[in-house]
Structure 1
Amino acid sequence: MTEHVLVVGSGRDLPGRVRATAPGTRTSVICRLDYLSRLRERAEHSRVIAVRHDASDAEWVALAAAAHAVDPFTRIATFGERDQDRCAEIGQALGLRTHTPRTVALVHDKTAMRARLRATGVDPTPSTAVSGLPALRAFVQENGLPCVLKPARGSASVGVAVIRTGSEEELAAAYHRAGGHFDGVSGTEVLVEGFHEGPQFSVEAFSEGGEHQVVALTRKYSDPVHFVELGHVVPAELSPALQDTCRHLVEQLLSALGVESGATHTELVLTAVGPRVIETHLRMGGDEIPTLVLTATGIDLSEYVVRQTVGESVLPDLRKALSVAPVPRRSAAVWFAAPPVSGVLTAVEGADPARLTPDTDEVRLLAEPGAVCAGLESSDSRLALARTHGPNAEEALATARTALAGLVFHIRTGPATEEAV
């Protein structure tokens, strides 16, 4: 049967890879109007349906159903986080298999996710939604410090704040940051939860038919103030026993949330009493993590996502590939340059590709001259990345940091001052 896949969102290069999986495979796209510029190979799609970002779910479903009536879709997929809820609603309405609306709601709404994990015994972390400082004070009094505030539906570390002292000033500032007065999170509900101390990890997994397979464990490094991620290395150097504990926790979490298929990215903290969940996502990890996994293990997560999208059963192949992955595995790392001062970026020196060492796979600028640097407020604040590999995590990370140290950022910090930092 010739496949016709409805892609919800832009999907970067993945729709093209979907079409290439088998002769005759077609794609159509439904996405937000402001995503049109992100679509690649637009003329290769059978159709593109653009919808206002604030259109109702019913409108998204109706437009998809109208196209389905004249040129039926056989599959539906979304490859990013935005509009996964719309994908779930369309899939349910058209009888196309994808994540259920309930699963997407549990994953996207951190308040609901925490409640579900407590109810199923997966993770006991206390949490609640708060709508004002009195409710926040009550949570602190009942559960103690430290605690963390975050937008209940935020991403990219936007709006996250930790409360350590419980002073009125700290409570007010944290609530202000997380509660809808920060770029990208206006009007969102605020979640407060117990804060876990310890090294941070992510678990890259793949599911099929409700079975879950962990592909890689990633060690991650975050800014201690705003928790913006600064670096990652694959594989995480953990004992076999701890690796098994993290795998088991993630498998329990995915089952508790009803995840049936696809790639997932789950963030953990390794506390003194074992791993605890930060959050999970119904997608591959960001920050070059799939590329790090490929470099370190030879496993191309995107390939399995694409093949599953067109109906292939891929879990047996994935498990076979993992069993024959190269040993010893090499480590792969990425590190990001944070803005050293606030101001306007005017120039960057040292980004010549000729400077790359054999262990440096890529150095990429993430900001162009004219960009406003306002501190490390979110993942979008970062200025550059270096992606590297090495015989172990320590050497791969050191190479990445060294590669970034060769960059010089010129930032205008005053009306008449330009300084190299």
Structure 2
Amino acid sequence: MSEHILIVGTGRDFPARIRAARPGARTTVFCRLDSVGRVRDPGDNARVLGLRDDAPEQEWVDLAAAVHARDPFTRIGTFGERNQNHYARIAEALGLTAHSPDTVHLVHDKRAMRARLSEAGVDSTAGVRVSGVEELRTFVRRYGLPCVVKPVSNSGSAGITKVTDESGLAEAYARAASSYEGLADAGVLVEEFLDGPQFSVEAVSEAGEHQVVAITAKFSDPASFVELGHVTPARLTDEVRDEVHTYVGAVLDALGVEFGPTHSEICLTEKGPRLIETHVRMGGDEIPALVRDATGVDVDECAARQTLGESVLPDVRATLAENRPAPCSAVWFAALESTGVLDRVGRLDEARSLPGVTEVRLLAKPGAEVGGLTSSDSRVAFARALADTPEDAARAARGAVELLEFTLKVSPHQGRAI
């Protein structure tokens, strides 16, 4: 029987990747109705199915089961965060290999994640799910300020606030309580503030074994926590790098991660690595491209191959062990303080021709409303660059972004902004 893979979510370019990797393989895409228009080359799939955003989870399972009864699925995959709860429940019902519903719940519900890591003796960072501002004040009285208030489930750094004064608790709670991308388990979480440099850790797991591929330094806006830049490999001592590898492996074990790519965000505190959050998916913000440039490991390819049931860990380790030039790769994002409608972007060609720059891309099109930095979606452009050191790579990427000129159309009362 030929492979028939159910892709939950739009899948980006992964349905095409999977069909190309396994001749004769067919893909069915199952996503939310509001995402159907983002399915690439829909006619190349066996079918594209859509359900309303508010459809009960059992309806997702029942529809998948109905198709499975007529045209059995051999495998299942998902490549984003928004639909992982549906993916896990469908896989459980159809007997397909996937992350367990428990693991998906733990990585989505940050309060449950904190509890599991504490029980396992991996991380004791305080975090409490709260239902009102008074409960926030109770947390502050016990653990002090600053604290971080954020959605229990979120994506793209949306809804996160660092609170340094009790007067900001109400506003932080309201911001975190808003809905973000339809992720399950909405609610508000307050955590103790982790002080120290932040990094993301990209890993690939297989049969419960974890291999860290890269540690990436990240640079975030101090007010909104939205990430503005990344560079890999991070400049760390061998001792710290080994400590991070061991720690992330323990986190993934505690959360029951058995396979696939993971993206873990950590803070290096005085007490050692502490988890901010982890995800059973590839990193965003062009991090897979940075990792590929710096290490030769294509995490996206690993995800596609594992969805087809292939073993990837031996190839990953062989690539990491190669004696090859190891450039440093960085990305930097542009964000605008002024608010208005994007009219034009100047000096693109100049930015693209700067030494070391490999890509400059616009994230906002002319006519889009832009301004402010509330989430990753607020950013308007990015540049990637290669160099011999992390510092030079980050400097080149940032320099390309800073060269760009953005012209906005604004209402008369807003004045003019460029």
Q: When the two structures are superposed, what TM-score results if normalisation uses the length of structure 1? A: 0.95
Residue 295 of structure 1 is matched in structure 2 by: 293
2:238 corresponding residue in structure 1? 240
Q: 1:175 to 1:185 in 2, by over 3 A?
A: farther
The one of 403, 406, 413 aligned to 1:406: 403
**Which residue pairs with 1:37 in the alignment?**
37
Judge which range, 313-322 or 3-12, deviates more: 313-322
Query: Residues 109 and 152 of structure 2 are in contact (CA less than 8 Å); yes or no, is this contact kept in structure 1?
Result: yes
Structure-2 change in CA distance of 1:185 and 1:322 (3 Å): closer
Give the aligned partner of residue 252 of structure 1: 250
- Match in the other structure for 1:212: 210
Q: Is the 8 A contact 1:179 1:187 kept in 2?
A: no
* Letter matched to residue 49 of structure 1: L
CA contact (8 A) 1:356 1:362 kept: no
Per the TM alignment, residue 370 of structure 1 is displaced from its structure 2 partner at its CA by 2.4
Contact 2:199–2:267 (CA under 8 A) maintained in structure 1 = yes
Counterparts of 1:248-397 in structure 2 under 5 Å? 248-324=246-322, 326-327=324-325, 329-352=326-349, 355-397=352-394
Q: Provide closer, same or farther for how the CA distance between residues 136 and 325 of structure 1 changes in structure 2, counting only shifts above 3 A.
A: farther
Q: CA deviation at 1:374?
A: 3.7
The alpha-carbon deviation at position 413 of structure 1 amounts to: 4.1
Q: Alpha-carbon deviations, 1:102-138, whole Å to 9, x = none?
A: 0000110111111111111111101101111111111
Q: Quick one: distance in 2 between partners of 1:379 and 1:61?
A: 31
Deviations 1:133-167 (A, max 9, x none): 1111110111111110000011111111111123x
Would the alpha carbon gap of residues 186 and 2 (structure 1) be closer, same or farther in structure 2, given more than 3 Å must change?
A: closer
Distance 1:138 1:27, change over 3 A: same
Q: Can you give the 5+ residue segments of structure 1 that lack an aligned partner in the other structure?
A: none
Give the conservation status (yes or no) of the 8 Å contact 2:19–2:26: yes
What's the offset of the Cα at 1:355? 4.3
Say which SS state the counterpart of residue 76 (structure 2) adopts: strand
SS for the counterpart of 2:169 is helix
Matching of residues 2-81 of structure 1 within 5 Å: 2-81=2-81
Per the alignment, residue 180 of structure 1 pairs with 178
**Residue equivalent to 2:128:** 128
Q: For structure 2, list consecutive stretches of 5 or more residues without a partner in the other structure.
A: none
Give, in angstroms, the shift of residue 357 of structure 1: 2.8
SS in 2 for 1:352: helix
Question: How far did residue 309 of structure 1 move?
Answer: 0.8
> Does 2:115 align with 1:115?
yes
Aligned-residue identity in percent:
54
Q: Aligned partners of 1:325 and 1:67: how far apart in 2?
A: 48
Q: Distance in 2 between matches of 1:67 and 1:4?
A: 11
Tell me the alpha carbon deviations over residues 19-52 of structure 1, each in whole angstroms, 9 at most, x when there is no partner.
1112211111111111111111211111111111
Say whether residues 1:231 and 2:229 are aligned partners: yes
Deviation at 1:418, TM superposition (A): 6.7
Following the alignment from structure 1 to structure 2, what is the Cα–Cα distance between the partners of residues 252 and 161? 28
- Tell me by how many angstroms 1:395 deviates: 0.7
| Structure-2 change in CA distance of 1:355 and 1:27 (3 Å) | closer
Which amino acid in structure 2 is aligned with residue 180 of structure 1?
A: S
- Cα separation, 2, equivalents of 1:69 and 1:316: 36
1:329-360 C-alpha deviation (Å, 9 max, x unpaired): 11000000111322332221112378423411
* Cα distance, 1:416 vs structure 2: 7.2
CA RMSD of aligned residues (A): 1.8
Q: Is the 8 A contact 2:343 2:367 kept in 1?
A: yes
Shift of 1:393: 0.7
Whether the 8 Å contact between 2:352 and 2:358 is mirrored in structure 1 is: no
Task: Note if contact 1:364-1:386 (Cα within 8 Å) is conserved in structure 2.
Answer: yes
Q: Is the 8 A contact 2:11 2:29 kept in 1?
A: no
**CA 1:271 to 1:283, structure 2 compared with 1: closer, same or farther past 3 Å?**
same
Contact 1:180 1:186 in 2 (8 A): no
Letter in 2 for 1:136: L
* Contact in 1 for aligned 2:108/2:185 (Cα 8 Å): no
Residue 149 of structure 2 is aligned to residue 152 of structure 1: no
List per-residue Cα deviations over 1:177-206 (Å, max 9, x = no partner). 212288978993100010111111000001
Change in 2 beyond 3 A, CA 1:227/1:417: closer
- Amino acid aligned to 2:383: A
- Go from structure 1 to structure 2 and tell me whether the alpha carbon gap of 1:183 and 1:74 turns closer, same or farther (over 3 Å shift): closer
Paired residues, number: 418
- Report the CA distance shift for 1:373/1:115 in structure 2 as closer, same or farther (over 3 A): same
| TM norm structure 2 | 0.96
CA contact (8 A) 1:412 1:418 kept: no
Q: Which amino acid aligns with 1:189?
A: G
Q: Is the 8 A contact 1:131 1:190 kept in 2?
A: yes
Query: Is the 2:153–2:184 Cα contact (8 Å) retained in structure 1?
Result: no
Structure 1 Cα separation of the partners of residues 332 and 396 of structure 2: 9
On the 8 A contact 2:12/2:39 being kept in 1, the answer is: yes
Distance 1:187 1:341 in 2: 34
Change (3 A) 1:30 1:417: closer
